[in-house]
Amino acid sequence: MKSNNKDADLSEGAENLFSETPLIRSEPLTALVGKPVYLKLDALQASGSFKDRGMAHLCATYQREGATELISSSGGNAGLAVATVGSRLGLGVSVIVPETTKPLVLEKLKSLGAKVTVHGKNWNEADTLARKRVDANPDDSKYVSPYDNPLLWTGHSTIVDEISDQLNIDDDDDNASIGAIVVSVGGGGLLCGVLEGCARRKLRTKVITSETNGASCFVQAYDAGGGPITLPGIDSIATSLGATSCTPVALDRARSHDGGFAATACTDEEAIDACVRFARDHRMLVEPACGAALAVAYSKRLRDIHLKDVDGPIVLEVCGGSGVDLDLLHNWKTEYLSSK
Any domain includes 333? yes
Domain of residue 137, CATH code: 3.40.50.1100
Closest CA to 203 of 50, 36, 6: 6
Alpha-carbon 100 to chain mean position: 19
- Would the pTM count as exceeding 0.85? yes
**Domain housing 102:** 51-143
Closest CA to 191 of 217, 213, 224: 217
Mean pLDDT on 61-70: 96
Q: Which of 143, 159, 190 is the last residue of a domain?
A: 143
- Looking at residue 123, its pLDDT comes to 82
Higher pLDDT, 209 or 125: 209
Q: pLDDT tens digits for 166-191? A: 999 876 665 558 999 999 999 999 99
H-type helices in the chain, by residue range?
27-33, 51-64, 77-89, 103-111, 123-136, 150-156, 158-166, 189-201, 217-224, 248-256, 268-282, 288-298, 300-306, 326-336
Mean pLDDT on 79-102: 94
Distance CA 180, CA 52 (A): 23
Query: What is the pLDDT confidence band of residue 1, given thresholds at 50, 70 and 90?
Result: very low
Task: Say if residues 326 and 279 touch (Cβ distance below 8 Å).
Answer: no
Task: Say if residues 192 and 327 touch (Cβ distance below 8 Å).
Answer: no
Q: Which of 143, 170, 191 is the last residue of a domain?
A: 143
pLDDT at 128 over 80: yes
- Looking at residue 243, its pLDDT comes to 82
pLDDT at 261 over 90: yes
Mean pLDDT on 91-104: 92
316 and 185 fall within a common domain = yes
pLDDT at 144 over 90: yes
Mean pLDDT on 96-106: 89
- Looking at residue 174, its pLDDT comes to 56
322 and 220 fall within a common domain = yes
Q: pLDDT tens digits for 278-292? A: 999 999 999 999 999
Angle at 284 between CA 82 and CA 37, to 5 degrees: 100
- Is residue 36 within a helix (H) or strand (E), and if so which, with residue range? none
**Residue % of the chain over a pLDDT of 70:** 96
112 and 246 fall within a common domain = no
Query: What is the pLDDT confidence band of residue 61, given thresholds at 50, 70 and 90?
Result: very high
Give every CB contact of residue 135 below 8 A, 6+ residues apart in sequence. none
Tally of structural domains, the chain = 2
